[in-house]
Structures are given as C-alpha cells and as structure tokens.
A and B are shown apart, each in its own frame.
Chain A
Amino acid sequence: MKQKIELKVNGKIHEVSVEPWKTLLEVLREDLGLTGAKMGCDDGNCGACTVIVDGQAIKSCLMLAPQARGKQILTIEGLGSPENLHPLQQTFIDHFAVQCGYCTPGMIMAAKALLDEKPEATEEDIRENLHGNICRCTGYVKIVEAVEAARDRMKKR
C-alpha cells in the first residue's frame, strides 16, 4: 500500500506517494526523475547509486525511501550547475577521470562526503574511503588525481 512521505532532496521538499518497500534509489530515479544516481548492482556492492544523506555517503539502493524521511538528501543534481560546477565535477573533467561515466556520479558523491569530513584527505584516505565505488574503465588512477586536485582547490577557497 502506498504511503505519502516527504523527502528533502537537494534543498527542496518533495511529497511522494510510494510503497514502503521502494528503495531511495528507485524513488529518486522514478518518482523524482533524478537519474544521476545509477543502479549498477542493486545489492550495495558497486557504489554507482551513492548519494549523501545527512552528510554521509550512502548507497541509495540499500536504504528504503521511508527511512530517508526528515533527512537532508543530496544527489549529484544538487551539487553544481553546468555554469557553476562543483570543484569535484570540474576536476573530474580536467583530469580525464570519466570514461563511460556510469560510476561517476557515485564517485563524486562519495568523494564529496570524504572531503567534507576530511578536507586534508590523503591518497590513502581516498583509496580507502572510495573502495566501495567500483570503476571498470579507468583503473582509478585519474579518479584519485581528480579527487586530490579538488581537495587542493577546495582548501584554497
């Protein structure tokens, strides 16, 4: 049976009517049309669906939508705009950290949560904190480069 819930996504409150077994990822993509978060494995092993809930990077395929009630949800769509990209979005472009792009929104959200919590994150921190996000194309080298570059840029601001 559907129930009405309020979700606060990217600073805006949305009222949606969902079955309680729907995951946050399904509701973001299907009800709210926010298709930035991707469904890769649907069992929490790939990280393509990573969004930030109350400051923490979570896999939105593992959270039921009603569990996100009253929480601040941030998706890749809320991060920057085409005219004003977030430093992570810009450095991912600058450092060629994107190939097929399927893992990219999740990578960027996981990296943002890390840099918010630890602005001085080292390469070791990045590798350790992002290892739940898998990428088949890049071999991760340029992703680490991009996150390090964004870290340095965000420190300067």
Chain B
Amino acid sequence: MGGKQNTPRGRSEAEVLVYEDGTIEALYSADEQGMGSETVMAQIAAEEFRVPICRVRVKRGDTAVTPYDTFSASSFTTYNTGNALRLACQDAIRQILQTASQKMEASVDNLTLEDGKILVQGSPGMDLNQLFEPFSMFTPQGGPALKKGTPVRGKGVFAPSPAVPWDPATGLTPRMWNWYQYNACGVEIAVNTETGEIKILRGVLAADMGFPINPKMCEGQMEGGFGMAIGASVLEEYIFRDGLMINSSFGNYRIPTFREMPPRAQFKSFFAPDPLPDGPWGSKGIGEATMVTVAPAIANAVYNAVGVRLRDLPMNPERVLKRLQKAKVAASAPGQTQRR
C-alpha cells in the first residue's frame, strides 16, 4: 500500500468556441506528453455539450492563442485543466441557452442543449445553428441572436481551493491536501542467488484515480507506471564521476524492455476508484502514484524469498549479492545475531 497526496498549485484556464455548424473547439495550454490528456479533454467537452467526441476539436499548447495554465505535472491535468474546461463549456452553454430563451420566449431553466439541439423540457425546440443570424449594417439589428460567423466563446478558470496549514498547537487541519490517491501492489519474483538478479514474474496493481474518465488510458498509465517502477527498483541508477554522468546511454543505463515486464497474462491492473467531490465527475489523477508501491513490494518479496532486507535502490545484482554475502558471513559467525 502506498499513495500520493496532491495539492495542485496555481490555476488552469480554458476556453471553448462553439461554431454554428456545431463544432466545439477546446482551447487550453496544458501539455500532452502521451498520457492522453487531449483525449480526456475532448471527452469532457463532448460530455458537457452532449455531442459525439468527433464533434470536438482540441487546440492546445500554443500560448499565443491558448489561455494560461500552470503546467502538466503532478497528475493534475484531468483535475485542474479538466475542471477549467468544464466551466468554459458551461459558460458557453449558458450564453447559448440565454439567447435561445429570448428567441423562443421560454424560461432558460427549461432549456437544455443536446447534440446541437435546444430542448424545451426535453422535447426538441430548435437547432443550434438557427440561433446564429447574419449581423451587418444591411440586416435588422437588435433581436436576440448569436452573430453568424462569430463563434460563442466560453471561458473557465479553475484554481483549487487552498489547502489549510495545520494548527501548530494541535497538528490538525481540515484540509491538508486536496486529495490522496492510494495504490496497492503485489509481486511474485525470483532471485538468482548466483548472479544477484531479480526477475519480476507476476504483478498486480490497484490504483485509485477517483473516477476513470478513460478506463483504457488509466490501464495504460498503470501498466506504464509498473514498468517504469521495475526500472527504478532493479535497474536504473545514475552514476556520476567528477560531476558528469558516466552511464548516460541506454547501453549502460538499462531501462526495462519487454523481457523485464512479466508476460501479459501475469500482470493485472485493478481500479479502486474513490471519487473526489470537486474533481470532474469525481476524477483525481492517475499518473505518478502508480509507481509508488512497486519498489516496496519487490523489496518485501526479496525478503520473503531470500531473507535479506534491501534498503537502497536500485536493487541491482551488485547490491543483492553484497547483501546476500553479508547475511551468509553473519550466519556463519558463531555467537552473533543476524542483523537485518
């Protein structure tokens, strides 16, 4: 068991443009490193506007045109940028429904927007594109309408409510972090006592992501986190000499390959969602925390297998052998209790 606390610092902003043909454009600056935030943001906008995801275009990361964001880090893009985008969508929808309300002379409370249609108490009223009217010096002006050629622009800003520092007297705080996300990991390993090599035979990982907006991508994060953690646990070490890293190539800084991951049937990931009230549909983050529990699980498995405690990372063959030899010497020396 292990986890990560998270307190996003700084705000995220997002904008959404709604064109008269029903295209939704989401603008934000959070970066995409491959975790799939672009897909999640498109899903969020599609859900808010109740349109198929293909109707949503994402434009991100060009700060000449996209609004401010803090950074994509600390597993908070879905939470921070996602919340800002939801607010931007809701802002645009509000503008559309207000116009529709004036035009249709219906109470805005009875209107909803779904798949490019304005619904009055659930039954179809008018199409979104009918709200857009020509607007120029040659056309009558002043009626309730959206301007043809100008998309509706919704804006959203989200800054997480601040964590409250603990009371120095009591050590208590009502909100120390914005959220916790826990993980649990189990591994089955083999230790080669001749070479000191550790092989990961099986693995299970359970993670809390709040609510999995894209379950397949959450799985991907967990598999990737587990793989990366194998590297951190048994392979990867920066070696410096005279201020320079001397093993800066993939030849002498080994990262996990297909061979280091357990076979497909021997790795399982489980979702253990604990929804976060102020996350988009309850979601938190997923990325980093997936790595937290793997090294301790491997270290415990090593103890279970060969009876030695490894307390330094990575648990590479040199360290394992050294520790095994030490244990052997200690065991053969009479009158000494074995230190673990």
A residues near B (Cβ < 8 Å) are: 40-41, 43, 45-46, 96, 98-101, 123-124, 126-128, 130-134, 136-145
Q: Is the beta-carbon distance between A101 and B264 smaller than 8 angstroms?
A: no
How many angstroms between the C-alpha atoms of A143 and B256 in the bound complex? Answer: 14
**B310, CB-defined interface residue at 8 Å:** no
How many angstroms between the C-alpha atoms of A115 and B329 in the bound complex? Answer: 51
21 pairs, A vs B, C-beta closer than 8 Å: A45-B249, A45-B251, A96-B217, A96-B219, A100-B33, A127-B258, A127-B263, A128-B258, A131-B257, A133-B257, A134-B250, A134-B256, A136-B255, A137-B34, A137-B220, A139-B261, A140-B227, A140-B261, A141-B264, A142-B220, A142-B223
Kindly report which residue of chain A lies nearest to residue B262, judged by CB atoms: A141
Kindly report which residue of chain A lies nearest to residue B216, judged by CB atoms: A96
For the complex with contacts A45-B250, A98-B34, A101-B34, 5 further pairs of A-B residues with Cβ separation under 8 Å are: A96-B220, A123-B263, A123-B264, A141-B223, A142-B219
Interface size range of chain B in the complex: 20 to 34
Chain B residues in 8 Å Cβ range of A144: 258, 264
Chain A residues in 8 Å Cβ range of B217: 96
Q: Which of B33, B35, B216, B227 is A139 in contact with, Cβ under 8 Å?
A: B227
B residues near A (Cβ < 8 Å) are: 33-36, 216-217, 219-220, 222-228, 249-251, 255-259, 261, 263-264, 267
Q: Is the beta-carbon distance between B259 and A127 smaller than 8 angstroms?
A: yes
Chain A residues in 8 Å Cβ range of B34: 98-101, 137
Q: Is the beta-carbon distance between B263 and A139 smaller than 8 angstroms?
A: no
How many angstroms between the C-alpha atoms of A93 and B295 in the bound complex? Answer: 31
Q: Is the beta-carbon distance between B226 and A139 smaller than 8 angstroms?
A: yes
Q: Is the beta-carbon distance between B257 and A139 smaller than 8 angstroms?
A: no
Kindly report which residue of chain B lies nearest to residue A95, judged by CB atoms: B216
Q: Is the interface of A mostly helix, strand, loop or mixed?
A: loop
Question: Could you tell me the distance in whole angstroms from the C-beta of B129 to the nearest C-beta in chain A?
Answer: 29
Chain A residues in 8 Å Cβ range of B36: 99
Kindly report which residue of chain B lies nearest to residue A127, judged by CB atoms: B258
Given contacts A46-B250, A99-B36, A123-B264, contact A130 B223 (CB under 8 A): no
Chain B residues in 8 Å Cβ range of A128: 258-259
Q: Which of B224, B258, B267 is A126 in contact with, Cβ under 8 Å?
A: B258
Kindly report which residue of chain A lies nearest to residue B261, judged by CB atoms: A140
How many angstroms between the C-alpha atoms of A112 and B306 in the bound complex? Answer: 42
Given contacts A127-B258, A139-B226, contact A145 B264 (CB under 8 A): yes
Question: Could you tell me the distance in whole angstroms from the C-beta of A48 to the nearest C-beta in chain B?
Answer: 10
Question: Could you tell me the distance in whole angstroms from the C-beta of A32 to the nearest C-beta in chain B?
Answer: 26
Q: Is the beta-carbon distance between B255 and A141 smaller than 8 angstroms?
A: no
How many angstroms between the C-alpha atoms of A96 and B34 in the bound complex? Answer: 11
Chain B residues in 8 Å Cβ range of A40: 250
Given contacts A96-B216, A99-B36, A100-B34, contact A43 B225 (CB under 8 A): no
